[in-house]
Amino acid sequence: MSETASAPAVSTDGSGGGELLVVEGLKKHFPVTRGIIFQKQVAAVKAVDGVSFTLREGETLGVVGESGCGKSTMARCVMKLLEATEGKVVFDGRDITRLSRAQMRPIRREMMMVFQDPYASLNPRKRVGFIVAEALEVHKLGTEAEIKRRVQELLEVVGLNPEHYNRFPFEFSGGQRQRIGVARALAVNPKLIVCDEPVSALDVSVQAQILNLLKDLQRDFGLTYLFIAHDLNVVRHISDRVLVMYLGKVVEIATRDDLYREPKHPYTGALLSAVPIPDPELGRQRTPVVLEGDVPNPINPPSGCNFHPRCPRFREGHCDVDEPELRSMGGERHLAACHYPLERWPMTADEMRKSTLPEAAS
Amino acid sequence: MPLLEVNNLETRFVTDDGIVEAVNGVSFSVDKGQTLGIVGESGSGKSVTCLTIMGLNPKKNTMSSGEALYNGQNLLTMSPRRLREIRGNDIAMIFQDPMTSLNPVHRIGDQLMEAVLLHQDVTKKQAKARALEMLKAVGIPRAERRIADYPHQFSGGMRQRVMIAMALVNNPDLLIADEPTTALDVTTQAQILSLMTTLQKEFGSAIMIITHDLGVVAEVADDVVVMYAAEVVERAPVDAVFKRPHMPYTWGLLGSLPRLDTDTERLVQIKGQPPSLLNPPAGCRFHPRCPYVMDICRVENPPLRPVSDDPDHLQACHLDEETKDREAQKLIAGTMAEAS
């Protein structure tokens, strides 16, 4: 549930002052050009194609989807590391979509990012102390001595030895490096931390350490997370609400429990059913809804509902013509974009198919 | 006789910093039609074990000992010529990274045919027919056209299918899959796993699957080997490992997993880092990270021995069985209680 202790009392319709981040109709299209001298645009990769959501203070919104569905591009647009093609991003009541670099600078303090690959996201030639302190120095937050003290404090907060601020990244293991990444993000006391697959590159035991750390930090500092991952178990563990993306669009968004207990979109169902269960008895009974084929090419997405070529509930003449809007599925907080949402859960692929048949006959 | 029997396998790499004990006294066996899962953290020696069995370690600076008996013949002491006959024909391997394990400058059809032409006395035409058949078997759409494509024209999941097709093209008796689904999305992972089990049923091959995903192991494996710091710490049928794990490291692995079927506020974490294999800890190698550590653990490395009432369940831990059963039940109950 999103109304956790740290979030101020906000009504569920989301009109309170607790909204930290509002994303509306966000689009990011990358042009595909042809020609050497006269480059003309022949198509566009619709990486993010109309994503809207709100994120309240102290909340964690998990974003899941297969690779190539636009999760990371969306995060980069939110962080203004990429310029959005259309739509707007409102951070803490201020539209940041069209701000210049200079105007952005004070806002950058408030939103930080933890990257996926702890081996590539730390400069190998800089000492850990410098890496963590850089943001403090850029924003001129304190004297040299103060900054050093703050860096040591941060290293301690994330569970590293403060004495190690003089070491280089290669002297640390993957999990420790990810802790450095977290310390760097925390340095300027941000409100929002965007985590782009922060545990994907780590072993399960180390993954547990980082997930516990992120939860502890959220409790202690009232942080808000936008948490991107492709591992549904991890997202379920850390999120209050979950957003499912497919081919640049939101297909379902709901509170964690609603989404995992009663998924409405067939794609969410297929994703959930594909997660292996670490229990041999349950695992053997499981019948995953196997999706045919791969994610389609975002240059030329399928007509109508993006998901229709792979959907077990696909109905000709409706799904491939009419694009479903994101609509309420019982409760304002559970939205899904599907003409034939799942009636119950769990369901096998055959049941999914069958339950649309009677309607087809009528 | 098991299809593959590995006895006391040891692999050491000589490096500038000293000798790395990458595999230390590993023993297990795989029967025909069975699936063995090998789990452990990165650097625990899972992949090196398989590479040693396949004879794929660099010759320079590597020392191996022990036995890897395939149908009674020791793969480690075999002539390179004989090994080449077995490799790719009787034993095949699927490598972890589909992005880098295919040759980017050859068409996938040619790469598939190479294995057939090397091991079987067939014409190019027959080899091509066989390659096409395999591509269809692994579910590549429009295989007739895609056989002439280059690897870059395939997505990750499709490339992994090509890798599987390549490994299965000669109907191997033993398939070694090194993290075959780690780089893939869950939906593709489900496709690949069901493909592997279907093909196993069809051809009766044995599979050795290396993974760090306990969910995958629970689903496909018959037997499980848990490795830690180059050693086997637990070896048992899959149900025993998940229902009655007998080694604190296995508890840590199971507890650290966020799961769809349970609610846990905090994950169990294994403190610290895996040890350096240049200089492994004395006694039990897990003792510096073990919450149940006793004095004996610091001195004596526990041997792999059977649980008293279950001879198939081997474990290496000094704790008494009563405590272990109690703690294992706590772990399972702690997560299971909230599941319903």
Q: What is the pLDDT of residues B85-126, one digit of tens each?
A: 999 889 999 987 777 889 999 999 999 999 899 998 999 999
Q: DSSP letter string over A146-215?
A: HHHHHHHHHHHHTTS-GGGGGS-GGGS-HHHHHHHHHHHHHTT--SEEEEESTTTTS-HHHHHHHHHHHH
Q: Please tell me what DSSP assigns to residue B271.
A: -
Q: What is the pTM of this model?
A: 0.85
- Shortest Cα distance, chain B CAs vs residue A361, angstroms: 30
- Shortest Cα distance, chain B CAs vs residue A197, angstroms: 13
Cβ-nearest to A280 among B242, B255, B256: B242
Q: What is the pLDDT of residue B338?
A: 35
A87: left (phi over 0), alpha (psi -120 to 50) or beta: left
| Surface of A (169-208) touching B: CB under 8 A | 173-176, 203-208
Q: What is the pLDDT of residue A289?
A: 83
Instruction: Tell me whether residues A208 and B268 touch, CB distance under 8 A.
Output: yes
A211-226 in b/e burial notation, b at 16+ Cβ within 10 A?
bbbbbebbeeeebbbb
- Distance from C-alpha of A178 to C-alpha of B138, rounded to nearest angstrom: 37
pLDDT at A10 over 50: no
Q: What is the pLDDT of residue B111?
A: 93
Structure tokens, B234: 């637990």
Q: Tell me the count of A-B CB pairs closer than 8 A.
A: 126
- Shortest Cα distance, chain B CAs vs residue A357, angstroms: 25
Residue in A205, A234, A240, A256 to test binding to B, most B beta-carbons within 10 Å:
A205
* Residue of A324 and B183 predicted with greater confidence: A324
Query: Per-domain residue ranges for chain B?
Result: 4-224, 244-336
Percent of chain B with pLDDT over 70: 98
Determine the average pLDDT of the residues in B192-198: 84
Chain A residues inside the 8 Å CB shell of B156: 67
- Distance from C-alpha of A241 to C-alpha of B313, rounded to nearest angstrom: 42
Query: CA nearest A72: which of A113, A125, A18, A14?
Result: A113
Cβ within 8 Å of residue A143, ≥6 positions away: none
State phi, psi for B320 to the nearest 5 degrees.
Answer: -75, 155
What fold characterizes domain B4-224? Rossmann fold (3.40.50)
* Tens digits of residue pLDDT in B221-246: 999 999 999 999 999 999 999 989 99
What mean pLDDT is reported for chain B? 88
CA angle A249, A251, A256 (to 5 degrees): 125
Instruction: Tell me whether residues B194 and A67 touch, CB distance under 8 A.
Output: no
Q: Which superfamily does CATH assign the domain made up of A19-361 to?
A: P-loop containing nucleotide triphosphate hydrolases (3.40.50.300)
State phi, psi for A346 to the nearest 5 degrees.
Answer: -80, 160
Confidence of residue B335 (pLDDT cuts 50, 70, 90): low
Instruction: Tell me whether residues A215 and B213 touch, CB distance under 8 A.
Output: no
| Closest-CA residue of chain B to A270 | B187
- Shortest Cα distance, chain B CAs vs residue A276, angstroms: 5
Determine the average pLDDT of the residues in B324-336: 76
B155 CB neighbour count, 10 Å cutoff? 17
Chain B residues inside the 8 Å CB shell of A278: 214-215, 217-218, 242, 254, 257, 259
Contact B171, B204 (CB under 8 A): no
Contact A50, A249 (CB under 8 A): yes
CA angle A77, A34, B158 (to 5 degrees): 70
- Distance from C-alpha of A95 to C-alpha of A92, rounded to nearest angstrom: 8
Instruction: Tell me whether residues B186 and A271 touch, CB distance under 8 A.
Output: yes
Q: What is the pLDDT of residue B334?
A: 63
Instruction: Tell me whether residues A230 and B186 touch, CB distance under 8 A.
Output: yes
* Tens digits of residue pLDDT in B43-67: 888 989 999 999 888 888 899 999 9
Cβ-nearest to A277 among B41, B191, B218: B218
**CA distances to B27, B58, B122 from B228, in Å:** 14, 23, 45
Cβ within 8 Å of residue B94, ≥6 positions away: B160, B163, B164, B167, B175, B176, B177, B178, B180
* Tens digits of residue pLDDT in A34-55: 887 778 888 888 899 999 999 9
Structure tokens, A7: 């979030």
- Bond prior to A296 in cis (omega within 30° of 0): no
- Distance from C-alpha of A266 to C-alpha of A348, rounded to nearest angstrom: 10
Q: What is the pLDDT of residue B92?
A: 92
Q: What is the pLDDT of residue B60?
A: 85
Q: What is the pLDDT of residue B260?
A: 75
Cβ-nearest to B260 among A211, A236, A290: A236
By DSSP bridging, strand A86-91 and strand A19-34 are antiparallel
Q: What is the pLDDT of residue B304?
A: 92
Percent of chain B with pLDDT over 90: 50
Q: What is the pLDDT of residue A351?
A: 83
Q: What is the pLDDT of residue A358?
A: 52
Query: CA nearest A230: which of B310, B9, B233, B185?
Result: B185
Chain A residues inside the 8 Å CB shell of B252: 205
- Distance from C-alpha of A314 to C-alpha of A266, rounded to nearest angstrom: 10
What mean pLDDT is reported for chain A? 86
Instruction: Tell me whether residues A233 and B266 touch, CB distance under 8 A.
Output: no
